[in-house]
């Protein structure tokens, strides 16, 4: 085969359901031999935050933001019918019943398949998220120009 086709995905959302859709597409693309990059920005950064420990940010506003918006793959909720967590709990049950991987498992799988996980530096700066708040699978941090360069070279480019 010729040069690898590229798939680039912006993950703007920190919702469980949207993150699931993003990872299903990323892992499918990787198994089709595509070179996949996922660019996490704004609420999407919650998907790749570590589940453990606190987030050390500077200033009262950012401290407050990162307290109420803690994030982490296991804390994501559904975009609809969350119902104070009941809906999300039920959905996680349904996913388990149907052997659907969790977001954690999808992140590990994506990493093994060579999917690049990139955190947006601007969102990190504005929201006061230090780089050590992210999981080890996160490959790098970058800006919008980096993503657009990837998107220009991509056969498929998505915003989720």
CA 16 distance to own-chain centroid: 10
Cβ-based nearer residue to another protein, 24 or 86: 24
- By the rule CB under 8 A, 141 interacts with another protein: no
Q: How far apart are CA 144 and CA 21, in angstroms?
A: 22
Q: Does 99 bind another protein (CB under 8 A)?
A: yes
- Binding-site member from 4, 31, 130, 143 for another protein (CB under 8 A): 31
Q: Looking at 65, 108, 109, 158, which residue binds another protein (CB under 8 A)?
A: 109
Least Å from the CB of residue 82 to another protein: 23
- Give 4 or 149: the residue with its C-beta nearer to another protein: 4
CA angle 42, 48, 51 (to 5 degrees): 120
Q: Which is nearer to another protein, 28 or 140 (CB)?
A: 28
Binding to another protein, residues 67-86 (CB under 8 A) = none
Comparing CB distances to another protein, the nearer of 56 and 155 is 155
CA distances from 77 to 18, 41, 134 (A): 10, 17, 19
Residue burial 61-72, b: 16+ Cβ < 10 Å; e: rest: ebeebbeebebb
| Alpha-carbon distances of 67 from 11, 56, 60, rounded to whole Å | 21, 10, 10
Under the rule (CB under 8 A), what is the footprint of another protein?
A: 1, 24, 27-28, 30-33, 98-101, 109, 113
């Amino acid at each position: 085969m010729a040069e690898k086709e590229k798939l680039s995905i912006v993950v703007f959302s920190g919702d469980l359901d949207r993150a699931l859709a993003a990872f299903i597409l990323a892992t499918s693309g990787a198994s089709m031999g595509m070179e996949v990059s996922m660019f996490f920005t704004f609420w999407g950064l919650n998907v790749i935050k570590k589940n453990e420990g606190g987030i050390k940010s500077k200033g009262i506003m950012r401290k407050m933001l990162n307290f109420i918006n803690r994030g982490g793959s296991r804390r994501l909720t559904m975009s609809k019918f969350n119902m104070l967590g009941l809906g999300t709990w039920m959905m996680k049950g349904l996913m388990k019943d149907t052997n659907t991987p969790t977001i954690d498992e999808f992140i590990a799988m994506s990493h093994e398949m060579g999917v690049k996980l990139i955190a947006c530096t601007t969102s990190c700066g504005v929201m006061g998220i230090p780089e050590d708040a992210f999981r080890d699978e996160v490959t790098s941090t970058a800006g919008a120009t980096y993503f657009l360069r990837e998107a220009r070279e991509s056969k498929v480019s998505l915003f989720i």
